[in-house]
Every structure is written in structure tokens, then in C-alpha cells.
């Protein structure tokens, strides 16, 4: 029953929210979407969206969560009684359901590589053999479903127990370890022959090549990687004491996340160009490139194994938050129900995710709207559901909540100035809805010629 005390410390909260944010989005998704959208200009726009949209929206979700102080649906009902606004939280639950169904596929790929690296079956391969070994492995339906199930079972077990303590302790070691291993990886990548081309790809924006799709993908990516628009941040901040400084927490989480995004870009693109791989290979990009870079390091397989362990941890802490927001609404603080719903929902997500899992194998020829099941689920979440959730959050906070309540939330424990508060407020009231609406138009194909 002691749900409400989970994150009574500042560090606990920061670790849980950073854990939700930092995950496959920064490490796996960013490089592949940036690679498909031409690199530098995409990175630039992604950073702009992160600061003008995702960061203010994170603060908005924090303000809702702490004002409501309950699970996401109840928080909306408390703030706006007798309205339909709690449907924003229900939309978030549906989004997290679909999200976890394909997120677990990639989580499974990490487990696959971990198994291979630990059993030594990657030793002695040539650089160009890694990609085909990987492709063959994920095409096997039993392996692909098996590892996805393992990923979901770990998520269920942790969420069923409702234990954050153990995870917080582990996170204190894992997060710095992630940064250190990334730095080693980046140093190796930057010293490869031809690394400069990768740097130019990432840091020399060519705005003339920028498509409207890239702009809108960058926006979706900024929401995805910071877990915005799906009520995760509302749920976590509902556990916070009044004294917590919301703007400062949001800024530290966003900075950590950008750092990981940059490290991922700095590790991946120099290697992609040095090895002559295609930057627009799509979701498999990271998995082609990583073992190849590690194989060029002394003690490569050791470092690769260590990297995969922390990477898996980062993916799991994001997955916990997706299941957590659904289970917290359904169980309302009852620990028996928590266990029951964690299992029911977790297994339902696995079943729903089966077609995505098989998209890289037996179902690879089946497409809907020209997309595989996997790509369709990813597209629906990143380009439709998350922006829609973010749009509604921006409108809810700036049009439905009282300005004085918001100011109190953002200024308690902090010394935010009136000017910054006002800019934030108007950004959410006017700029965010208009910009996000552009994403929705893109989804309808309005920008397509």
C-alpha cells in the first residue's frame, strides 16, 4: 500500500525518470532515425524540439502529477472532475501497451546478442559476418519470440513486486557504467579510418536536404526518447514531495538524455562510414555496427558483454515505466491486484507483440499500408499516439489548469522567475499545440506532394 512513498528521495525520482527516459530511444532509435533522415540537420532539429517542446512538456506532466498526486487517470479526474480529460491518461495507457509490444522485440535482440557474446559464439568472426549472423538469428521465430518473452517476463516480475529500491541501487552503478562504456566506444569509433566522414554526417547540417518528414520525425523522436505524452512522467511525479524542484529535475533528465544521444551518434556514425555500411539501414543499424566496433578493441568481447548488460538494463528500466503506468491505474495501490494485472497485461502485451517479433522473419513479406507489423506499431506510437498525447497535455495544462496552481508547482522548492514561468506557460498554450498539430497534419499526408 505504500506506493505513495516510493520516490521520497530526490535521487530515487531522478533515477526512475531518467531510467524511463534513457533507453532504446537514445541508443537504438536515434541513430537509425537520424541515419534515415540525413544526420546533421536532423540532430539539430531534434535538439531544438527537445528544448522547446519536450522539456516544457515534461515540466507540464510533472505539474499534473504532483497536483493530482494519484495514478494518471485519477489525477486527471481530480484536477478536472466531470470532464473527459482522463481519457488523455487512458490514451497514454494504450500507447504504452503498443509501445512495449515492439520495444520488447528490440529488448529481445539485446538479449540475443548478450547470449552470443557470453557464450563466445561471436569470437573470430569477420567484421562483415556479424550482420548476417544477426539477421539469421532474429529470423528464427523461436529465438525471436523466446528472447522477447524473456524481456517481458523480467518486466512483469519487477512491476508485479512494485520494488523500486533494488532498481534504484542498481541504477546508481549502471547509469555511470553506461556513460563510461560509451566513452570507450566513442574513442574507438573516432580513431577508426575514415571516422571524419561520420562526424561530418552528424555535425555538418545540410538544411537544404531537410524534408518535412525529417522535421516531424525529429519531433516524434524528442517525445519518444523523453517518454513524453503517455502519462509516465505524471505517474512518477505523483510520488514526489512538495519540496522537490520540478524544473531542475526536468533539466537534469533532459541533459543526461541528450548526452547519451550524442554519445550514441558519436559511436555509431564514424563506424558506419568507416566500415562502409549504410546509415539508413533502419532498426537493425545499431545491431550491425556495435559488434563490429567492439571486435576492433582489445578485450572486445569483454567490453561488448559489459555494454550489452548495461544497455539491457537501460531498456528494462524504460520498459518498467510502460507497464507501471498501466498497472498503477488498474491496481490503485492494492498489491494483490498489482501482481495480478502485471501478469495479465504483460502477457497480453507479449501476445499482441508476436506479429512485430516475426516481422524480421516469417512475416517479413506481410505489409499493411506498406509497413511491416513492427514498423506500423512503431509508426503509430511515435508519429501518431505520442504527439497526440503531448498535444492534449499541452492544452490541458495551459488552458484547463489554474495559472496560480501551476506557478506554485513549478516554484515550490525552486526559484523560477516569473519571466521563465510566463514563457513556459505561453509556449505550452500557443506554440506547442500549433507545432504538434503540424505532426498530425503530416500523418494525414498534408505535406506530401
List contacts with ligand PHE (CB under 6 A): 20-21, 23-26, 96, 99, 224-225, 227, 230, 232, 318, 321-322
**Residues recorded for the chain:** 449
CA 343 to chain centroid, in Å, comes to 23
330 Cβ partners below 8 Å, 6+ apart?
A: 337, 341, 345
Q: Is the CB of 45 or the CB of 131 nearer to ligand PHE?
A: 45
Q: Is the CB of 21 or the CB of 327 nearer to ligand PHE?
A: 21
Q: Is the CB of 21 or the CB of 159 nearer to ligand PHE?
A: 21
Q: Is the CB of 292 or the CB of 317 nearer to ligand PHE?
A: 317
Dihedral angle computed from the Cα positions of residues 389, 383, 376 and 154, in that order, rounded to the nearest 10 degrees: -60
Least Å from the CB of residue 195 to ligand PHE: 26
Gap between the Cα atoms of 352 and 342, Å rounded: 15
Query: What SS3 state is found at 163?
Result: coil
Whether 71 contacts 242, CB under 8 Å: no
204 grid coordinates: 555538418
DSSP code at position 416: -
Q: Is the CB of 195 or the CB of 323 nearer to ligand PHE?
A: 323
Query: Which residue in the shown chain puts its C-beta closest to ligand PHE?
Result: 25
200 grid coordinates: 561530418
DSSP code at position 244: S
Least Å from the CB of residue 224 to ligand PHE: 6
Least Å from the CB of residue 217 to ligand PHE: 15
Q: Is the CB of 195 or the CB of 377 nearer to ligand PHE?
A: 377
Least Å from the CB of residue 337 to ligand PHE: 22
Least Å from the CB of residue 379 to ligand PHE: 15
SS (H, E, C) 246-303: HHHHHHHHHHHHHHHHHHHHHHHHHHHHHCCCCCCCHHHHHHHHHHHHHCCCCCHHHH
Whether 285 contacts 32, CB under 8 Å: yes
Q: Is the CB of 37 or the CB of 274 nearer to ligand PHE?
A: 37
Give which of 85, 86, 83 is closest to 73, Cα–Cα. 86
Least Å from the CB of residue 419 to ligand PHE: 30
The helix or strand, by DSSP H or E, that contains position 378, with its residue range, turns out to be helix 373-379
230 Cβ partners below 8 Å, 6+ apart?
A: 91, 92, 95, 96, 99, 322, 325, 385, 386, 389
Partners of residue 368 on adjacent β-strands:
371
Q: Is the CB of 17 or the CB of 292 nearer to ligand PHE?
A: 17
Q: Is the CB of 300 or the CB of 389 nearer to ligand PHE?
A: 389
Least Å from the CB of residue 288 to ligand PHE: 20
Least Å from the CB of residue 449 to ligand PHE: 31
Least Å from the CB of residue 226 to ligand PHE: 6
Q: Is the CB of 167 or the CB of 277 nearer to ligand PHE?
A: 167
Least Å from the CB of residue 22 to ligand PHE: 7
199 grid coordinates: 562526424
Cα four-point dihedral sign 265, 270, 275, 279 = positive
Q: Is the CB of 30 or the CB of 425 nearer to ligand PHE?
A: 30
Gap between the Cα atoms of 68 and 228, Å rounded: 18
Least Å from the CB of residue 443 to ligand PHE: 18
Gap between the Cα atoms of 41 and 28, Å rounded: 19
Whether 18 contacts 262, CB under 8 Å: no
Amino acid at each position: 500500500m505504500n506506493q505513495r512513498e516510493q520516490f521520497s528521495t530526490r535521487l530515487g525520482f531522478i533515477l526512475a525518470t531518467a531510467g524511463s527516459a534513457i533507453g532504446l530511444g537514445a541508443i537504438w532509435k536515434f541513430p537509425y532515425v537520424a541515419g534515415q533522415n540525413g544526420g546533421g540537420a536532423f540532430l539539430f532539429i531534434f535538439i531544438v524540439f527537445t528544448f522547446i517542446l519536450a522539456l516544457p512538456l515534461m515540466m507540464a506532466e510533472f505539474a499534473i502529477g504532483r497536483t493530482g498526486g494519484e495514478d494518471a487517470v485519477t489525477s486527471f479526474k481530480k484536477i478536472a472532475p466531470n470532464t473527459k480529460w482522463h481519457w488523455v491518461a487512458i490514451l497514454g495507457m494504450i500507447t504504452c501497451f503498443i509501445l512495449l509490444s515492439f520495444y520488447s522485440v528490440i529488448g529481445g535482440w539485446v538479449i540475443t546478442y548478450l547470449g552470443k557474446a557470453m557464450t563466445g559464439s561471436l569470437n573470430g568472426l569477420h567484421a562483415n559476418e556479424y550482420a548476417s549472423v544477426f539477421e539469421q538469428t532474429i529470423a528464427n521465430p523461436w529465438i525471436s519470440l523466446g528472447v522477447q518473452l524473456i524481456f517481458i517476463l523480467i518486466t512483469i516480475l519487477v512491476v508485479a513486486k512494485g520494488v523500486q529500491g533494488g532498481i534504484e541501487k542498481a541504477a546508481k552503478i549502471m547509469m555511470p557504467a553506461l556513460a563510461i562504456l560509451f566513452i570507450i566506444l566513442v574513442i574507438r569509433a573516432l580513431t577508426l579510418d575514415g571516422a571524419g566522414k561520420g562526424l561530418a554526417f552528424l555535425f555538418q547540417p545540410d538544411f537544404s536536404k531537410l524534408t518535412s518528414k525529417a522535421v516531424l520525425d525529429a519531433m516524434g523522436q524528442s517525445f519518444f526518447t523523453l517518454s513524453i505524452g503517455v502519462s509516465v512522467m505524471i505517474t512518477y511525479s505523483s510520488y514526489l514531495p512538495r519540496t522537490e524542484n520540478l524544473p531542475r529535475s526536468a533539466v537534469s533528465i533532459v541533459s543526461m538524455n541528450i548526452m547519451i544521444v550524442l554519445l550514441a551518434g558519436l559511436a555509431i556514425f564514424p563506424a558506419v562510414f568507416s566500415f562502409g555500411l549504410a546509415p539508413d539501414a533502419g532498426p537493425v543499424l545499431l545491431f550491425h555496427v556495435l559488434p563490429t566496433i567492439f571486435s576492433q578493441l582489445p578485450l572486445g568481447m569483454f567490453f561488448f558483454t559489459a555494454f550489452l548488460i548495461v544497455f539491457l538494463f537501460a531498456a528494462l528500466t524504460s520498459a518498467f515505466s510502460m507497464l507501471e503506468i498501466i498497472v498503477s491505474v488498474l491496481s490503485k495501490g492494492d498489491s494483490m491486484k498489482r501482481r495480478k494485472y502485471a501478469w495479465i497485461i504483460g502477457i497480453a502485451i507479449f501476445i499482441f507483440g508476436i506479429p512485430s517479433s516475426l516481422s524480421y522473419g516469417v512475416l517479413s513479406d506481410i505489409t499493411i499500408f506498406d509497413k511491416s507489423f513492427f514498423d506500423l506499431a512503431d509508426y503509430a506510437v511515435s508519429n501518431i499516439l505520442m504527439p497526440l498525447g503531448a498535444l492534449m497535455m499541452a492544452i490541458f495544462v495551459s488552458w484547463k489548469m489554474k495559472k496560480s496552481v501551476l506557478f506554485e508547482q513549478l516554484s515550490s522548492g525552486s526559484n523560477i522567475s516569473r519571466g521563465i514561468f510566463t514563457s513556459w506557460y505561453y509556449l505550452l498554450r500557443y506554440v506547442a499545440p500549433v507545432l504538434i498539430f503540424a505532426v498530425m497534419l503530416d500523418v494525414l499526408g498534408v505535406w506530401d506532394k
